[in-house]
Amino acid sequence: MGRIFEVRKSTMFARWDRMAKQFTRIGKEIVIAVKAGGPDPNTNPALRRCFQNAKAVNMPKDRVEAAIKRAQGKEMDNYEEILYEGYAPHGVAVLVETATDNHVRTVANVKSIFNKGGGSLGNSGSVSFQFKKMGVFKLKPEGLNAEDLELELIDFGLEELGEGTGENGEDVLVLRCAFNDFGALQKGLEEKSLTPLSAEVEWIPTTTVELDEEKAQEVLKLVDKLEQDEDVQKVFHNLQ
């Protein structure tokens, strides 16, 4: 087991702004999960995943409950999930996941951020071929034998297991599986009574771009602007 590859993360905006953004993102994910599979986490794996992620970022219980109630309301707007593809400066590929109730507003905002940041918004398929859509689970390493765990979870779709870092820089075990095996690996962890720190679907780059610090900061500034947009859920890139 080695250290698993992770791309650089943008850390430009303040901690409290990032926390508020995380709460908003997970709130939308809860709404989408409840509308798709109902409010019972016992029969809705996507909602269980949302609960795990809410706990990981210390999202208050009342905000989680409020999101569930919003999803069950008759007048609640439906969120449409749209993936945008483009390039940041210096040829760095970028994927932008959004959840929006107004796609006209969203595409205008995303395109403007790309243009102002020295990048360009592309067409569907222009960038995504450089990434692999995977399920990513993070666990506390304490009390776990990584080699034994890897062998036990292969039958549940585990493809990669290695060391990584959590939201606060702490050491974690990172488990990855194919997107289609997300539910199977989630079930495998539940059968072993292992509760992930987070359980996400991520776009993992198959190749990366290495830049000097000055150019890298130009890319991360664009990523940061995208992350702060109210309709943007997650941003992925292939900057090493």
Could you give the 3-state DSSP secondary structure of residue 22?
A: helix
Nearest to 59 by CA among 198, 227, 171, 233: 198
Which residue do the tokens 């194919």 mark? Answer: 178
| Domain edge (last residue) among 50, 72, 94 | 72
Q: What residues does 164 pair with on adjacent strands?
A: 172
Q: Which of 7-11, 142-146, 178-182 has the lowest mean pLDDT?
A: 7-11
Predicted local confidence at residue 165, as pLDDT: 86
Domain shared by 191 and 226, yes or no = no
Classify residue 124: in a domain, yes or no. yes
Reported as a single tens digit per residue, the pLDDT across 94-119 is 999 999 999 999 999 999 999 999 99
Domain shared by 165 and 200, yes or no = yes
Q: ∠ at Cα 134 (128, 135), nearest 5°?
A: 145
Domain shared by 167 and 153, yes or no = yes
Domain shared by 35 and 142, yes or no = no
Nearest to 114 by CA among 131, 89, 90: 89
Number of domains comprising the chain: 3
Nearest to 40 by CA among 27, 30, 53, 54: 30
Give the pLDDT band (50/70/90) at residue 6: confident
Judged against a pLDDT cut of 90, whether residue 203 lies above it is answered with yes
190-195 average pLDDT score: 94
Phi, psi for 145 (deg, rounded to 5): -95, 110
Predicted local confidence at residue 13, as pLDDT: 53
Classify residue 227: in a domain, yes or no. yes
Which residue do the tokens 């990366």 mark? Answer: 208
Give the pLDDT band (50/70/90) at residue 57: confident
Give the domain CATH number at 96: 3.30.70.980
Predicted local confidence at residue 191, as pLDDT: 95
Predicted local confidence at residue 168, as pLDDT: 74
Predicted local confidence at residue 3, as pLDDT: 73
Give the domain CATH number at 50: 1.10.10.200
Reported as a single tens digit per residue, the pLDDT across 118-134 is 999 999 999 999 999 99
Classify residue 10: in a domain, yes or no. no
| Domain edge (last residue) among 41, 72, 103 | 72
Domain shared by 65 and 24, yes or no = yes
Domain shared by 140 and 89, yes or no = no
Q: What is the mean pLDDT of the chain?
A: 92
Residue-range definition of the domain harbouring residue 39: 15-72
Domain shared by 135 and 169, yes or no = yes
Q: Where do runs of H (alpha helix) occur along 142-238?
A: 146-153, 182-191, 213-228
Domain shared by 124 and 141, yes or no = no
Classify residue 168: in a domain, yes or no. yes
Nearest to 164 by CA among 222, 210, 204, 214: 204
Report residue 34 as tokens: 């409840």
Domain shared by 137 and 200, yes or no = yes
Contact 41, 48 (CB under 8 A): yes
Classify residue 197: in a domain, yes or no. yes
Helices and strands in the chain: count of H runs, count of E runs: 7, 8
High-pLDDT (> 70) share of the chain, %: 94
- Distance between first and last Cα of the chain: 21
Reported as a single tens digit per residue, the pLDDT across 205-217 is 999 999 999 999 9
Could you give the 3-state DSSP secondary structure of residue 171?
A: strand
Domain shared by 140 and 118, yes or no = no
Domain shared by 96 and 125, yes or no = yes
Classify residue 6: in a domain, yes or no. no
Report residue 74 as tokens: 């008759």
Predicted local confidence at residue 4, as pLDDT: 81
Classify residue 118: in a domain, yes or no. yes
Classify residue 7: in a domain, yes or no. no
Nearest to 59 by CA among 20, 14, 3, 106: 20
Domain shared by 156 and 211, yes or no = no
